[in-house]
Structure 1
Amino acid sequence: MKTAVLVIDMQRGLYDDLPRPHEAAEVARRVNALAGRARAAGVPVAFIQHENDVDLEFDSERWQLSSALEVDSRDTKIRKTTPDSFLRTPLEAWLAEHAVQRVVICGYSSEFCVDTTTRRAAALGYEVVLAADAHTSHDKPHATGAFIRAHHNATLADITSFGVPIRAVASADIAF
């Protein structure tokens, strides 16, 4: 099954600023390992970058990808303005161009853009593998980043109504 890796919103202004998200360094290492294995297998990798007019202006320093990421010249970059990586972006056309049927999703933030993109991908008929230890969030007043990630791993993987599987899998166990 043709696969693509989607790395969501791991940008300097969201990911590198202090305080950093839960397990920020570890998640970046896992994302880099996952993307490296994907590239070695000929699987396309897309880095999706959020932007707005307030603090993530296009091409600003804060908009750039995290300094912890290893980006290859073969990778694609996709701009977005909502939590949904598909809405008003070229993502769906890019996936179709590569005949993708399954997406591996990782990045930031578990409860916003990772969650929304996972649900939208499944709604569009893509099988989804959520890299269970390679997405993260900041601690919030009501829940820690660790809890938020665990909650979304359990919740998203429990959704069956889209008719395609959503599986939460440790990044080291994702095969291409």
Structure 2
Amino acid sequence: MKTALLIIDVQSGMFDHEPRADQADAVIARLNQLAAAARAAGTPVVWVQHERASAPLTHGSAEWQLARGLDAQPDDHYLRKTTPDSFLRTGLHQQLQQWGVGQLVIAGYASEFCIDTTTRSAAAHGYAIILASDAHTTHDKDHASAAQIRAHENATLPKLGSFGVPILTRAAAEIAFPANT
């Protein structure tokens, strides 16, 4: 089954300024490892960037840019979105179909918003999913720490069997990309 790597919303506005996303540097290192492994296997790497009509995530602004330390490459793919769902009004599904992709590795920011929503939408579109359990993050909230939120998502999303596709969680170091041919 062909695979694609989606790295969602790892942007300067959330990673390069205080307060930083939880474990920001470790997550960026894991994302770079995933992207390098994906490229080596011929797997498409898709960088998804959230934008708003107003600051702080105005398209093209400093905060909208990918976070410092990410190893994005010119041959990678870039996608703009305006909702927590990377599929909604973006053409992502059509692009994945053109590539013949049936499985997604999902990682990035924010665990409880864009990671959760995109994972559910991907499953609704029929994609098998591997959620990189230690390569998504968020900020602490009033009701829960970022670590608690990440743990909740890692425990909850794989239990969504009603979509009819597997949703698995794996640590980034355990994710292997099959050669896409």
TM, length-normalised to structure 2: 0.96
**Is 1:153 aligned to 2:164, yes or no?**
no
Q: Is structure 2 residue 27 aligned with structure 1 residue 32? A: no
Aligned residue-pair number? 176
Is 2:19 aligned against 1:19? yes
- In structure 2, stretches of 5+ residues that fail to align are none
**What secondary structure does 1:161 align onto?**
helix
Alignment-derived partner of residue 71 in structure 2 = 70
CA–CA distance in structure 2, aligned partners of residues 84 and 3 of structure 1: 19
CA distance in 1 between partners of 2:83 and 2:61 (Å): 18
- Is it true that 1:162 corresponds to 2:178 in the alignment? no
Measured in 2, the distance between the counterparts of 1:113 and 1:104 equals: 14
Structure 1 residue 44, shift from structure 2 partner? 0.4
**Where does the alignment leave 5 or more consecutive residues of structure 1 unmatched?**
none
Mapped partners of 2:120, 2:67: distance in 1 = 25
Q: Which residue of 1 aligns with 2:9?
A: 9
1:74 Cα deviation (Å)? 1.2
3-state SS of paired residue (2:35): helix
- For 1:122 and 1:53, the matched residues in 2 are separated by 29
Query: Is the contact made by 1:15 and 1:108 (CA closer than 8 Å) also made in structure 2?
Result: no
RMSD of aligned C-alpha atoms? Answer: 0.6
The aligned residue for residue 44 of structure 1 is 44
Aligned 1:25-174 pairs, distance under 5 A: 25-54=25-54, 55-174=56-175
Quick one: distance in 1 between partners of 2:21 and 2:108? 11
Give a deviation string over 1:105-127, Cα, whole Å, max 9, x none: 00000000000000000011000
How far apart are residue 95 of structure 1 and its match? 0.6
Q: Could you tell me how far 1:17 is from its partner in structure 2?
A: 1.6
Equivalent position SS for 2:60:
coil
Give 2:151's aligned amino acid: A
Which moves more between the two structures, 34-43 or 14-23? 14-23
Offset at residue 15 of structure 1 (A): 2.0
Runs of 4+ more than 3 Å apart: none
- Of stretches 7-16 and 129-138 in structure 1, the one that deviates more from structure 2 is 7-16
Q: Distance in 2 between matches of 1:118 and 1:12?
A: 22
TM-score normalised over the length of structure 1? 0.98
